[in-house]
A and B are shown apart, each in its own frame.
Chain A
Amino acid sequence: MQKSIIFLIVMCMAVTAGVFSASAAYHFFNGEDWVKIDQKTCPIDVKNNMKLMTLKAVEGGSLFSGTPILPQQEMNLSGYVEAVDMFYSNVTNREIPLYFALKIASMEKQGIPEAQVRLYRTAIQKKVSQTK
C-alpha cells in the first residue's frame, strides 16, 4: 500500500515538474517566429512592413533601454530585413533571438572580421542551448 502511494506521489511530482518547467521556459522571439511572417497569407509588401516594424521595435527597445544595437550613424533599418532573412535561412540559426540576429547582421555590415562574428554567434548558440 505504502509503495503504491509513494509511486503515485513520485509520478505526480514528475508531472508537476514537467508542467512547471514547460511554463517557466520563456520563448524569445526568434527565427521560428520570423519565418512564420513569410508563411502568412498576405501581400509581400505587408510582410516586408511587418518585418521592418519588428526590427524597429527591437532597435527601439534597445535604444531606449540604454544600449542600441545599431551604430549611431545607422539611420535606416530596411537594409537589415534582407540580412536577417539570410541569417535565419540557415536553420541552425533559428533558435537565436531576433535581438542577436540583428546584432550579428549589424556586425557583418560594419565589416567586423568573419571569425569574430562566428565566435559571437557560437557563443549565443551555446547560451541559448544552455537555457533551454
Chain B
Amino acid sequence: MLDDRKETPFDNKWTFLILVLVLGIILFSFMARVISNTTYKKAQAYQKPQAGAAPAHAPLSPLYVGAADWNLINTFNIQPVDKSVMKIQLIKVSLEAGIINGNPLITPTVPLYTYLKDIDELYAEPRNASIPLYFAIKIADMKRSGTPAANIEGFKALLLQRLEKAGLVTKQ
C-alpha cells in the first residue's frame, strides 16, 4: 500500500538537501540584491547635520575639493537629498581617481553614504578647513574602523605639514 505512493523529492535526503541548498542560494542572492538597492535609498534618506556656510577662512582651492566646497553645497538651493547625493558623488569620483591611478585610498567596507556624517562633522570644525576631501575620506574611514582619536589627530597634523611643504595648502 505504502509502495504505491508517488515518490516526492523529500523522500530522498540528498534531494532534500540539494533543494534546501538551492533555495538558500536564491534567498541569499535576493538579500544581496535588496541590500545593494537599499544603499541608494538610505543615502536619499540621510539628512545632513546643518554645518552651515563655509568658514570665512576656508580657501576655495582651484584644484581639489575641500571644506569650502563641501560646505558650499549646503548653501545650494536644492533638496537636502540632492545635497547628499552630490556629496556622495564627490566621494565616489575622488576614490575612483585613486583606483584608476593604481593607489586606492581605502577599501570601503560600508556604503559611501556612511562617510557623509563624519565628513560633515570634520568640516564643521574650522581647524580642519585645509584638509582636502580626498584625505577627509581617509580620516572618516579611520574613525569608522575604530582608529584611536590620538592617531587620527597625528595623521591630520602630519598631513597638513606635508601639504604645506608641497605648497598645496597655506597655514591659516
Contact = CB atoms under 8 A, between A and B. Distances in A.
Interface of A: 1, 5, 8-9, 12-13, 15-16, 19-20, 22-23, 28-29, 33, 40, 42-43, 46, 49-50, 53-54, 56-67, 69-70, 75-77, 97-100
Interface in B1-33: 7, 9, 15, 18-19, 22, 25-26, 29-30, 32-33
B63 A59 contact: yes
B77 interface: yes
A77 B62 contact: yes
Q: For B18, B26, B29, B91, which residue has the most chain A Cβ atoms within 10 angstroms?
A: B29
B96 interface: yes
Contact of B76 (A46, A57, A69, A75): A46
A15 B26 contact: yes
A44 B33 CA distance: 36
8 contacts: A1-B9, A16-B25, A46-B78, A53-B86, A57-B91, A63-B63, A65-B97, A99-B97
Nearest to B82: A40
Contact of A62 (B15, B36, B72, B97): B97
Nearest to B69: A53
A13 B133 CA distance: 42
A64 B132 contact: yes
B140 interface: no
A16 B21 CA distance: 12
A23 B100 contact: no
B28 to A, nearest CB: 8
B101 interface: yes
Contacts of A28: 96
Interface in B97-139: 97-98, 100-103, 105, 132-135
Given A1-B9, A16-B29, A42-B76, A61 B97 contact: yes
B144 interface: no
Contact of A65 (B29, B32, B62, B98): B98
Contact of B33 (A19, A77, A99): A19
Nearest to B72: A49
B170 to A, nearest CB: 15
B26 A98 contact: no
A12 B63 contact: no
